[in-house]
Amino acid sequence: MPRQTPSPQGAVVEFENVSKTFHSPKGPVHAVNGLTMSMQAGQTIAFLGPNGAGKSTSLNMLLGLSRPDSGRVALFGGTAAEAIKHGKVGAMLQSGGLMSDVTVQEQVQLWAKLHPRPIPVSEALKRANIADLADRRVDKLSGGQQQRVQFAMAIIGDSPLIVLDEPTTGMDVENRQAFWATMRERALEGKTVLFATHYLEEADQFAERVIVINKGRLLADGTSAEIKASAGAKRLSFRLPGVQDAALYRLPNLVHVERQADVVRLQTSDSDATLYALLDAGLRPTDIEIQPLGLEQAFLAITAEDNNHSGGPADGATLEAAR
């Protein structure tokens, strides 16, 4: 069950029973369906969901780029337009925002003029690890470098709320690490950081709170450890040469089956019962390990269970934390 966070006065972000429907040739698509959540100052929050879960639609409504059909979305107790006007929001989205015929420094300088109290451009470039690219034209940058320019634009306003949509896509390992080091510094300053990502190890490592949605509904809300525990499953791995798939799928309490050559990895809601059934069937596995689920496995288990109970995934959805 999702853990609803109280919404006291002064919440940075509030969604109250928010719904949004789009119309397609196949009929209505309920992108967001009665979503209620709130976020407090100083939290670092990962926003996860499969394709088609409603993440991007929710972020668009949060930023005032789209209006809900019903319900209420508030930033700092008011509208997104008011919050943005007063420099309270910095955002890094997956599309738009960059001009091709200016240098990196010129691009960030132009963005700084939209904020009432920007930090120095040189400081934003340094934090985004692109000080050495200041004089390069934007259209000469790689995809990962352009991501870092958008990151500099998101933090130039020194805003108390930073919204990031797939922020490290295209970045190499070194720059991903530098990015998260900078975000940790911003969080320590008391800023609220909300990010959607398909790198679940980032959510596990850097978010103090994880929100999982599916089909526009809130599925889980808590710490990474709480999300893992809520999945109610464990990972059972072993080596068993020559085992047939049919024998594996007859085992009780299975959530997911994966095999690579002689190595079998199972997700099971009752690891003891599954292992005893394996032995009772006359099979003799070796190198047996039982471990709690990682965040990625827990995410898959939670969304798969929801799909099983609600008639399958949303149109176009895949079981990954992506758009």
Q: Which residue has the higher pLDDT, 214 or 255?
A: 214
- Give, to the nearest 10 degrees, the angle between helix 104-112 and helix 143-155: 30
pLDDT score of 312: 58
pLDDT score of 311: 62
Domains along the chain with CATH numbers: 13-228 (3.40.50.300), 233-292 (3.30.70.100)
The answer to whether 126 touches 148, Cβ cutoff 8 Å, is: no
Q: pLDDT digit string (tens) for 76-99? A: 999 999 999 999 999 998 766 789
Q: pLDDT digit string (tens) for 29-61? A: 899 999 999 999 999 999 999 988 999 999 999
pLDDT score of 51: 86
The answer to whether 34 touches 19, Cβ cutoff 8 Å, is: yes
Q: pLDDT digit string (tens) for 181-228? A: 989 888 889 999 999 988 899 999 999 999 999 999 999 999 999 998
Closest CA to 111 of 64, 143, 60, 157: 157
pTM of the model: 0.81
Longest Cα separation, the chain: 72
Residue 17 has pLDDT above 60, yes or no: yes
Q: pLDDT digit string (tens) for 266-305? A: 988 889 999 999 999 999 999 999 988 889 888 988 888 8
